DNA sequence: ACTGAAATCGCGTCAAC
DNA sequence: GTTGACGCGATTTCAGT
């Protein structure tokens, strides 16, 4: 985790690599107006410092037969707070659950879930997620239209 | 968009490229037990068919000074349904908004938002998002702990 | 026709200036 | 910080099945 703040060249590099994670080093160096070895050193430094966590192919869910997506909120049964870490481990183990955060507000957790279709989504929630001891009050918000999808992080949000 | 269903080799390739978007062709071919040209042809076909949407570097938000994240729900003011597409365009234009779906349930839209800190998140919601004509009932769920982060899509969820 | 082998060409990468 | 060199990998062509 870098304490070193990122300068504008680092940010440009991140911008390029968020737009195209397979951009070649010469591509990046051209776009940020840097020599190739310079650029290479910066990219590696960004990787080493953990600024770049990983590179990932973005796969279209439908092509994998994943036609349903939902945000699911859940609470922990008040009597089961001692089991919180176990519940979280269960959540991590379900491949259908893509993301999970604890959140402020009315719910304890918010999850992003995919499934083949609405039926199998419902089955997953009922037969698997709700069966985890301590899980309570499962509510789902089915995703209908994708208005904005997985935008890259803004590299220079004004102060 | 392919009607052609993906076979198990395609799925393995997607698995590898979701885990490492910069995996070299020879790496992939070794892992899926395919000759390099074969593997290459399949990867390109997956790209051409839109199965692989893009490649992306995953950047740690904190290193960009983005210390706050929230899921934000909002409704459209009943009198302003005619402006829905304009509102959606506004949503797409905010770089702080990373994702947006229309959802079933109590809310019309669910957004994923990042900001420098809680203060600037609150400012963004109040001074920008709530100012969009037609936007109503903005509620935020601040992300606290990240229990599971951006898992790759499961390539073979049982039927 | 489809697969794998070989050949080329460009890029990533390092070392020296 | 830049230039140059080396070696590997991506990509195409071709021959064999």
Yes or no, beta carbons of A52 and B59 under 8 Å apart:
yes
pLDDT higher than threshold 90 for residue A5: no
Token digits of residue A54: 């990983």
pLDDT over 70 percentage in chain A: 97
Q: Using the CB atoms, write b or e for A126-157: b if 16+ within 10 Å.
A: eeebeebebbeebebbbbeeebbeebbbbbeb
Has residue A1 got a pLDDT over 90? Answer: no
Angle, to 10 degrees, between the axis of helix A8-19 and the axis of helix A25-32?
A: 130
Looking at residue A2, its pLDDT comes to 47
**Helix (H, G, I), strand (E, B), or coil: what is residue B154?**
coil
Mean pLDDT across A63-85: 95
Per-residue pLDDT tens over the stretch A10-42:
999 999 999 999 999 999 999 999 999 999 999
Rg (CA), chain A: 20
Q: Which CATH number fits domain B61-142: 3.30.70.920, 3.40.50.2300, 3.30.420.40, 3.40.640.10?
A: 3.30.70.920
Interatomic CA distance for residues A70 and B91, integer angstroms: 20
Mean pLDDT of A1-15: 84
The answer, for A8 touching chain B at a CB cutoff of 8 Å, is no
Query: What's the pLDDT at B2?
Result: 47
In chain A, what are the helix, strand and coil shares in percent, each to the nearest 5? 40, 30, 30
Burial of A19 (0-12, 13-18, 19+ CB in 10 A): middle
Give the CATH number of domain B8-48.
Answer: 1.10.10.10
Q: pLDDT category, B1, cuts 50, 70, 90?
A: low
User: What does the domain layout of chain A look like in residue ranges?
Assistant: 8-48, 61-142
Q: Once rounded to an integer, what is the mean pLDDT over residues B65-82?
A: 96
Q: What is the DSSP letter of B86?
A: H
Partners of B110 in beta bridges? B73, B101
Which of B47, B58, B59, B114 would best serve as a mutation to test chain A binding (most A beta carbons within 10 A)?
B59
Chain A nearest-CA residue for B98: A151
Q: Cβ of A143 under 8 Å from any chain B Cβ?
A: yes
Q: Do the chains contact at A1 and B62, CB–CB below 8 Å?
A: yes
Q: What is the pLDDT of residues B5-18, one digit of tens each?
A: 899 999 999 999 99
Q: For chain B, give the mean pLDDT.
A: 95
Task: Give the model confidence (pLDDT) of A96-119 as tens digits.
Answer: 999 999 999 998 999 999 999 999
Q: What confidence tens digit (pLDDT) does each residue in A145-159 have?
A: 999 999 999 999 877
Reported as a single tens digit per residue, the pLDDT across B84-132 is: 999 999 999 999 999 999 999 998 999 999 999 999 999 999 999 999 9
Written in H, E and C, the secondary structure of A95-149 is CCEEEEEEECCCCCEEEEEEECCHHHHHHHHHHHHCCCCCEEEEEEEEEEEEEEC
Strand D bases contacted by the protein (CB, 7 Å): 1-4, 9-13
pLDDT in tens, B82-92: 999 999 999 99
What is the model's pTM? 0.93
Confidence band for B31, pLDDT divided at 50, 70 and 90: very high
């Amino acid at each position: 985790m870098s304490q070193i703040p990122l300068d504008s060249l680092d940010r440009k590099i991140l911008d390029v690599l968020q737009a195209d994670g397979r951009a070649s080093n010469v591509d990046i160096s051209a776009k940020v107006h840097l020599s190739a070895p310079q650029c290479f050193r910066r990219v590696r430094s960004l990787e080493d410092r953990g600024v770049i966590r990983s590179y990932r192919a973005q796969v279209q869910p439908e092509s994998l037969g994943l036609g349903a997506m939902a945000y699911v909120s859940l609470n922990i049964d008040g009597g089961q707070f001692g089991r919180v870490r176990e519940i979280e481990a269960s959540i991590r183990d379900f491949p259908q659950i893509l993301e999970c955060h604890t959140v402020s507000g009315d719910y304890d957790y918010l999850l992003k879930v995919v499934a083949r279709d609405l039926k199998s989504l419902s089955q997953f929630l009922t037969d698997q997620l709700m069966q985890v001891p301590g899980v309570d009050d499962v509510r789902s918000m089915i995703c209908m239209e994708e208005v904005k999808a997985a935008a890259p992080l803004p590299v220079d949000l004004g102060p």
